[in-house]
Amino acid sequence: MQKLLFLLTFLLILNIGYSQFKNLKDKVLGDKSPIGSLVKKPPAISTNFDDDVKMEGSLPADFGNDKEYFPLYNARRSASDGFVLCPGFYEMTNMSYCLKAGTYGPSAGDGYMYAPTVGKMDDIINAILYAHETQHAEIPQRDVQVLLWAIIAKAKFKNLGGKTKLVAGLLLTPQQIVKLNGGMVETLGDEALSRNLVDLPAPVRAVMEAENKIRSMVESGIDDFEAFERVAIMAGMAPNDHPEVVRGMWALHPDEYYIRYMPSGYSRTHVQIYVPENKGEVLYNAIGTIACPANTGAQRLAQTNIKIATSDGKAADPCNATALIK
């Protein structure tokens, strides 16, 4: 009888505790809570290692280290703005962009693998990178980066200030700006944000705090790239939760060639590509691709076709200059 009473009492306490926890969670994350709208709103870019990286068919990091590489930027371009590649080895150091504020930058030994750019704003991100390359190469990389951080932070076009709004107007069409105007969430004050984030995991809290600060900064028209960078880029090293993925591993691309990423900071990435001998010509376009970190607290790096170095590669062009895409 005493055991039964103890069990009933324990269950009652457990139920009360759960109810109190649920009430707290609903209060913090409920539909009417500002922080709830932040948590529940779909991310602008959702690419992540566990969902979007395919490890099948990958090659070890020492593969291809004894080969000569042809400069990718000298490969023939196709009508769709990609590079036409024949069987062989290619490399290029290109512009890259951070697509996740409040995370750690690349560090020595970090493994990055191929993943597609996916999320609610993937078309907007890709359009910006394409327009920067093909129409407005005069825009500095850092100004494009601030615009990308603003979009990742769910900022609204009409609330963008100063230079960031101008850059958005140059790189986006009116239809894309209309879509961007539907991406806003409430910007919270520091006190309100810290009070409402207390029950969330630390990595989630760091990202949301960074996004909130970035929204506030772009709305204020702040023109200080280093200030944005201090908010977006965390100092230190991301926890190594996928130690089996090391720097220089090759990912098997869906089009059956291999690619690997070796970032130097978030703003430049050395890319190498291997097209197997049994393949015909393939088309490579960096727009829409991400160097995805195996360490989930690190930054996703959007890739571009824009070179930032001219010392890559010494091999002869594997392709015949008159070859056609098959």
The residues, any chain, with a CB within 8 Å of residue 236's CB and separated by 6 or more, are: 104
Judged against a pLDDT cut of 90, whether residue 32 lies above it is answered with no
Judged against a pLDDT cut of 50, whether residue 184 lies above it is answered with no
Judged against a pLDDT cut of 70, whether residue 197 lies above it is answered with no
The reply to whether 11 falls in a domain is: no
Selected residue with higher pLDDT from 118 and 156: 118
Domain hosting residue 59, numbered range:
47-307
The reply to whether 194 falls in a domain is: yes
The reply to whether 28 falls in a domain is: no
Dihedral angle at the C-alpha atoms of 119, 92, 73, 250, nearest 10 degrees?
A: -60
Judged against a pLDDT cut of 50, whether residue 318 lies above it is answered with yes
The reply to whether 211 falls in a domain is: yes
**pLDDT, the chain, mean:** 82
- The whole-number average pLDDT for the span 135-146 is 96
Q: Into how many domains does the chain fold? A: 1
Q: What is the pTM (predicted TM-score) of this model?
A: 0.81
pLDDT recorded at residue 116: 98
The reply to whether 323 falls in a domain is: no
Judged against a pLDDT cut of 50, whether residue 172 lies above it is answered with yes
The reply to whether 299 falls in a domain is: yes
State percent of the chain over pLDDT 90.
Answer: 53
pLDDT recorded at residue 221: 86
pLDDT band, residue 216 (cuts 50/70/90): confident
Judged against a pLDDT cut of 90, whether residue 306 lies above it is answered with yes
Judged against a pLDDT cut of 50, whether residue 20 lies above it is answered with no
pLDDT band, residue 323 (cuts 50/70/90): very low
pLDDT recorded at residue 81: 80
The reply to whether 193 falls in a domain is: yes
The reply to whether 205 falls in a domain is: yes
pLDDT recorded at residue 295: 87
- The whole-number average pLDDT for the span 129-135 is 96
- The whole-number average pLDDT for the span 278-286 is 94
Judged against a pLDDT cut of 80, whether residue 205 lies above it is answered with no
